[in-house]
Structure 1
């Protein structure tokens, strides 16, 4: 009798939620324990307590606990109420193939993570990853992950280890000693890392998290200049190489108070400005000169796509210029963007990702959402909840994409 009841409960759940396919093979259904675990993950991602959730559906907290453990079956009305409370859908909770992301709870477990700005950034990252993963799952997009083997930080000189690991990764990626023109593209296209650039509190440079189901994820601060974001991305890449199972929040001017931070900072320098390449380019740029000038610094920083301060500090570290050189420049008017424009002219870089960060949702997510809407996989309201937008914003995004596509013709058709 219990088996019959279990089967009828699974069938009722699946047939009641709009958008689910007919699942006649009951072996494909989620068990009560699996569903309970998904409900728990969704609650933790939404920063809701068990008491909050229990009150929302009118049950005792002990009942909610039993539901999350799979001991007490979830009614469809309760599931729908909880989905709304957690900013997701009953469909997403029930689909067998759906991936549920546990990033925000990991950040909340950090010892010094009580600051509101950090909590908000962690939640934003979790929202972005959840939305992207859900859209990929609906559209049948398989994301390829190509991560290098994890490298342990051993005893001894941590900076030397980081430099070698950075050089090894460059060769593994086929980069050699060439400059890193666009680190975000390398992370996304060659390694399958999920990289997001959004506006964060000024003190936060970036966040890093790794989850076996969704891969490596990095969030960068769009309010920071491109060269600083590049440095932060390389720093987080260092954590991916050596300590990928630990979540990371990078803050401006954070002290190197651990071997892990020393490693990540040294890795970033080694990855963006390999010692051999810096020495070679320095010799070319300063040939015949007796002192390091602003023009030298501007040209070198532009070549390696790093900040003027970063390249001078690297020159000091490699003993190509005296210690305190950057401090001298700062004390004597620094090296300004206007001076860089005068030296570089049209080569002075634009920052397209900063422009995209001003949009309510990334271009990639908006295109996937449009396809999900066209295929009838998600309604306008479901997209709004998934992307944390209102319906007017969703309507505008979808209509803009449709307008662009309506201007195309047969000559631009994609061959599948």
Structure 2
């Protein structure tokens, strides 16, 4: 029987291979999840202690994930990767799915997310490029991994310990580190702050927004519907439609439906 570590790593490698990701960092995890996997992600303020809420439609199989809008960019990325892990392993059930009552599934999704975001082979390559030596790593090496792969310091530290790059004592120190502190210490705080404007912002699902605009162009929904889906003022949406010459088509007959919610 495969261990959770082995099973989750193999699943993460297979996922990367299937989507042609190779060993490169996944820069836009949201685009990957929405455009290539078919998830609907929405970023909202969630109750304290909840990183995401996932629901699956029993009839269509569509998966909708509400992700916490947060300035903890790396945690948000890990959360999305974690939810992808649940989907890859078929853990989701109909309706809303909090997973904390299933420790094995949670542990497996966590491990999947770690290997998805920071593959062992890719980590070895990066460390080899800077002539790093096992059990002689410095904090700057951890910082490089966190910045390059966009992961939590704890996640990078676990991967380093699992691959015998650091001792248990070093791991105990490094798992307490934070990305904001490392970014200031090693000069990449400006780059990180530029990304926070997105991670901390409440925003709608790209896929749902796109489908709402498509329905509007086909004359099947009103501009107010687009504004509701995208979470923007009607006047702002109207201005954008006029600016980019996006107009609703006229219904071809009296039998045409004026509103088609099922297509969302």
TM category (shorter chain) comes to: 0.7 to 0.9
Conservation of the 8 A alpha-carbon contact between 1:204 and 1:249: no
Match of 2:150 in 1: 305
Whole-angstrom distance in 2 between the partners of 1:330 and 1:263: 20
Whole-angstrom distance in 2 between the partners of 1:188 and 1:263: 22
Match of 2:125 in 1: 280
- Cα shift at 1:239: 0.8
Whole-angstrom distance in 1 between the partners of 2:32 and 2:243: 29
Task: Give the 3-state SS of the residue equivalent to 1:249 in structure 2.
Answer: coil
Task: Give the 3-state SS of the residue equivalent to 1:204 in structure 2.
Answer: coil
Match of 1:220 in 2: 67
Whole-angstrom distance in 2 between the partners of 1:162 and 1:291: 28
Conservation of the 8 A alpha-carbon contact between 2:158 and 2:171: yes
Task: Give the 3-state SS of the residue equivalent to 1:350 in structure 2.
Answer: helix
Match of 2:221 in 1: 378
* Structure number, greater radius of gyration: 1
Unaligned runs of 5+ in 1: 1-154, 407-416
Distance 1:338 1:282, change over 3 A: same
Distance 1:345 1:189, change over 3 A: same
- Cα shift at 1:242: 0.9
Match of 1:72 in 2: none
Whole-angstrom distance in 1 between the partners of 2:137 and 2:212: 52
Unaligned runs of 5+ in 2: 246-264
Residues 17-416 of structure 1: matches in 2 within 5 Å? 155-211=1-57, 212-213=59-60, 215-223=62-70, 225-246=72-93, 248-249=97-98, 258-285=103-130, 287=132, 291-329=136-174, 334-335=177-178, 337-341=180-184, 342-344=186-188, 346-348=190-192, 349-354=194-199, 356-357=201-202, 369=212, 372=215, 376-379=219-222, 383=225, 387=229, 394-402=233-241, 404-405=243-244
Distance 1:313 1:215, change over 3 A: same
Whole-angstrom distance in 2 between the partners of 1:388 and 1:194: 13
Conservation of the 8 A alpha-carbon contact between 1:184 and 1:195: yes
Whole-angstrom distance in 1 between the partners of 2:195 and 2:50: 22
- Between 1 and 2, higher relative CO (CA 8 Å, sep ≥ 6) is seen in 2
Deviations 1:7-63 (A, max 9, x none): xxxxxxxxxxxxxxxxxxxxxxxxxxxxxxxxxxxxxxxxxxxxxxxxxxxxxxxxx
- Cα shift at 1:228: 0.5
What is the aligned-residue RMSD (CA, Å)? 3.4
- Cα shift at 1:388: 10
- Cα shift at 1:399: 3.0
Distance 1:388 1:307, change over 3 A: closer
Distance 1:263 1:387, change over 3 A: same
Conservation of the 8 A alpha-carbon contact between 1:286 and 1:296: no
- How many aligned positions are there? 241
Whole-angstrom distance in 2 between the partners of 1:403 and 1:190: 30
Conservation of the 8 A alpha-carbon contact between 1:196 and 1:219: yes
Q: Which moved more, 1:212-221 or 1:306-315?
A: 212-221
Conservation of the 8 A alpha-carbon contact between 2:135 and 2:165: no
TM-score (norm 1): 0.50
TM-score (norm 2): 0.75
Distance 1:378 1:259, change over 3 A: same
